[in-house]
Structure formats: C-alpha cells, structure tokens
Amino acid sequence: MPTAKESTEPAIKTQIRQFIQENLAEVKGISSFRDDESLMENGVIDSLGIFRVVSFLEENFGVRVGDEEINPENLSSVDTIEKLVTAKLNK
Amino acid sequence: MDFSWSEEQAAFRKEVIRFAKQELQDDLERRDREEEFPREFWQKCAQFGIQGLVAPPEYGGGGADTLTTVCALEALGYGCKDNGFLFSLNAHMWTTEIPLLAFGTEEQKRKYLPKLINGEWIGLHCMTEPMSGSDAYSLRTRAERKGDRYVLNGTKTFITNTIHGDLFIVFANVDPAKGANGVTGFLVEKGTPGLVVGKKLHKMGLRTSPMSEVALVDCEVPAESILGKEGSGQAIFTHSMEWERTCILASHLGMQQRLIETCVKYARERQQFGAPIGKYSAIANKVADMEVRLETGRLLLYKAAWLKSQGRHALREASMAKLYVSETTVQTCLDAIQIHGGYGYMAEYEMERDLRDAISGKIYSGTSEIQKVIIAGFQGL
C-alpha cells in the first residue's frame, strides 16, 4: 500500500505541470519541458510568472509561500515546486 | 466583510492627521520652486513612527499590519501637502526597509534597520538605467565576483533619495548569460569608493524629492553585502514593487479627500449668476465623480492591503490599485482646477502643484501600461 505522501505526490506534480503548461509555457510557444528542467532558464517562468505560480500554489493547495521562499531554488522546475508544496503540506 | 476601521485605527488616523497638519507644514511653495528636500520633516516622521510602521519592534519598528499602514499613509497624504516628501518616505520604506526585512540576513537587519527606522539614515534602491526602464531586468550594470568581493560597474538613472541617501540597494547582473536570473541585489553604503551620485535631475513634479543619476565605477563591496542570494534580484524587486504599489498611493487617496473638501467649500462659497456654483449641475457632477473615484480607489487599495495583512500575495490587486488610484488622482486634480477656474490655475491655490505631482504616479513603480500588462498577464495574456 502506498503511504499517504506517495499517493498525493503524483497528483500534486500533475497539477503543477498542467498549470505551467497551460498558463505559462503554451503562450510562449514552448510545448514540452522536463520535470527537472529550469523553467527560468528556458524562459517559461519570468518575473511575473513566478508570482502567477505562487498564486496558483496558494489558491490550489492552500499553502502560504513566504517572501523569502520565492527564489530560483524553490521555483525553478516542476520538481522543486512540487518539493516545496509537499514539504508545506506535510508540516 | 467589514468596511470600517477599528477604534484603534480610527484614533491613529486622527493622530496622524493632527501630526501632519501641525508638524509637516512650511513654505512649500518656495521649497517646490527651489527643489528643497525637508530633512527636518524626515526626523519628525521617524520620531512619530512613520518609517518604522511595518517593521517589527525588535528593530525599532511599530509592527503595524499593512491595512493600518495604508490608513496612516492616507492620513499623511490628507494632512501633508508635500507630495514629494511623502514620495521619498515611500521609496525609503518599500524599496529599502521591506526588502531588507524579507531578504536580509539577521546581521544585515540589525546593522541597518534601526538606523533606517529612527531617521538617522535614508534608504533607496537603484534599478532603472538609461536603457532599461519598464524592461527592468535587461539592466546592464554588472557585478563581478573577485575573491571575497564583488566589483560593480554601471550607470543608474531616475534614482530617488540619492542626494541624502545613506544605504543604496543596487541591482546588478552577476551572470549576463542567465539574463534576468542573474540579477542580484547589493547593499552599498554611502561613501563606498566608486559609488558616485551624479547630477541632480529636475522634474515636473515631486520637486521636493531629490532625484539623480548614480554611477558605479569599479565599486567594490564585500561578498556579505549581497541581499538574498545570487539571482534573487527578480524576487526582491517584485516583492518591493508589490509593497510599493499597494501602499505608495494611499497618500493620493488622502490628497483626493483634501481636494474634494476644498472644492466643496469653494463651490458653496463662490457665487456666480446669483447662486453658489455648487448649485449648478456642471460643478456638482464633477464633485460627485470625484467622490466615486475616491471610494472606488479606496476599495481597490484597501483590498490589496488587506490581502497583505493576511500574509497573502497581492501582485495583481496591487497593480489594479496602483493603476486606478494614479489615473483617478490626475483626473481629480484636473477637476479641482476646473472647479476653481482661473484661481485653480494659480500656484497660490496649490492645485497645480498637486497635478504636477500626481502625473508622476502614472509613471513610477511601473507605468500604467505596465500595470495593465501585469493584470492581463494573470489571465494568461
């Protein structure tokens, strides 16, 4: 049996990926990206995109992202964003 | 949903208005003409607690929430007519204190915040460059790591508070190949070799707020002068702008209130064609429009502040508030001048200065056009 954490992770990652794909990547003509790819370096997430992602995380997962947490380490890829959300949900 | 101020907030608002009317009045018409910054006002505001409004008590601040802060700033804008001075105060609070609070190390906070709060020091940030305004992250100032130091080189323009400034937050790119992700903030103290405050810039309005160019010529700072981390400049700047756009135009709401009261008084007293001009719908309708604009602006600005008081982000709401209040303040200034006719056009009546000051609100902290880009951007456009 998967643990509660294992069973929620794919859903979180899927939702994050879907939001970024539909709202940030497609409008810039970027059709695919890896989960570990830097979305800041490939141009998917710009300065406004960072805050759109943060708003999405706060509204969708009910978490609060502190100002000091808004940095490339936490928000650069689908993997790091998922890690941030999971850590907050497991607190 | 509660649209009223608490008893404490209402009392604080009254006290700020009393303070501003009593302590922040002087020969403004002359100072505006001569572009003179009122340093003594700065110290009075610090003693009253304005600069420390949002900072926690451990750094000497008052620990006010964002809504209470905009309540105080609106009251300042109502009681103090020196919009240039209020602009300098806001620049200091939102572009220096706030990023230090959010991104500074404990050591940096303890070193700088008490001085910034008690009025001893004035802060500012250096972002805009001759070739980068709205496209802020295309800045050309470079920061090169050399051992335990960074060397900054570049030119900044339209920088507020420079001439009296003590702490400069300079944005520079540590790795141009990374584009915006290389932008980084540095804390640079006045007197650092290579930090050069250039010629004073003369403005249409906000003339009591000093502005000039800043040059960085092989300006060396210790590695620990970095604010946040390498590449966190975008987050720092956006964070500052979210705060600034939420709060900086609160004083414009106060200015609108003051102008409405001035116009109502004039419309009741001024007689033309045998009746007070306020009895004519051409004048009364203008006053009604001014009232609607003020109340609508309050709703937008208070909501952005409320969100931030809840610990939530408000970039979109702050842009809406900034866009709307800046645009409507200009219109209200124009209406106030029109209601007063020839008198309104005279410097003595002070409304022409309010208009000149208000126009800048459509430009600083992101132009109205950029606010629309942000608002539409949240819709994926």
Averaged pLDDT, B287-295: 98
Query: Is the pLDDT assigned to residue B321 strictly greater than 60?
Result: yes
Is the confidence at residue A4, as pLDDT, over 60?
A: no
Percent of chain B residues topping a pLDDT of 90: 91
Alpha helices (H) in B80-167, listed in sequence order = 83-92, 98-103, 106-117
Domain of A8: which CATH number? 1.10.1200.10
Stated pTM of the model: 0.91
pLDDT of A10 reads: 61
Q: ipTM strictly over 0.90?
A: no
Asked if A35 is an interface residue toward chain B (Cβ–Cβ < 8 A), one would say no
The CATH number of the domain covering residues in B249-377: 1.20.140.10
Q: B316–A64: do the CB atoms touch at under 8 Å? A: no
pLDDT on residue B118: 98
Q: Is B244 a catalytic residue?
A: yes
B380/A47 Cβ within 8 A: no
B206's tokens: 């906000």
The predicted-structure confidence for A27-85, as pLDDT tens digits, reads as follows 888 888 999 998 888 888 887 888 889 989 988 999 988 877 887 788 889 999 999 99
- Closest CA–CA distance from residue B136 to any residue of chain A (Å): 10
Give, to the nearest 10 degrees, the angle between helix A78-89 and helix A4-20. Answer: 140
Strands (E), chain B: 123-126, 142-146, 149-160, 167-173, 183-189, 195-200, 211-222, 226-227, 271-272, 275-276
| pLDDT on residue B380 | 79
Could you count the other beta carbons within 10 Å of the beta carbon of residue B347? Answer: 11
Counting residues of chain B whose pLDDT is more than 70, the rounded percentage is 100
Please give the mean pLDDT across all residues of chain B.
Answer: 96
Kind and range of the H or E element at B71? Answer: helix B66-79
CATH of span B124-231: 2.40.110.10
pLDDT at B135: 84
Q: Chain A to chain B, count of Cβ pairs less than 8 Å apart?
A: 59
Question: For residue A24, what are the domain limits?
Answer: 4-89
Nearest chain A residue to B319 by CA distance is: A48
Closest CA relative to residue B33, chosen from B377, B325, B309, B347? B347
pLDDT at B378: 86
User: Considering only CB atoms, which chain B residues are within 8 Å of A64?
Assistant: 311-312
pLDDT tens for each residue of B108-155: 999 999 999 999 999 999 999 998 888 888 899 999 999 999 999 999
Most confident listed range (B134-138, B196-200, B294-298): B294-298
Secondary element (H or E) of residue A20: helix A4-20
Domain count, chain A: 1
From B129, B230, B242, B244, the catalytic residue: B244
Domain B7-122 -> CATH class: mainly alpha
Residue boundaries of the structural domains of chain B: 7-122, 124-231, 249-377
Which 8-state DSSP code applies to residue B95? I
Indicate if the pLDDT at residue A2 is higher than 60: no
What's the average model confidence in pLDDT over B44-68?
A: 97
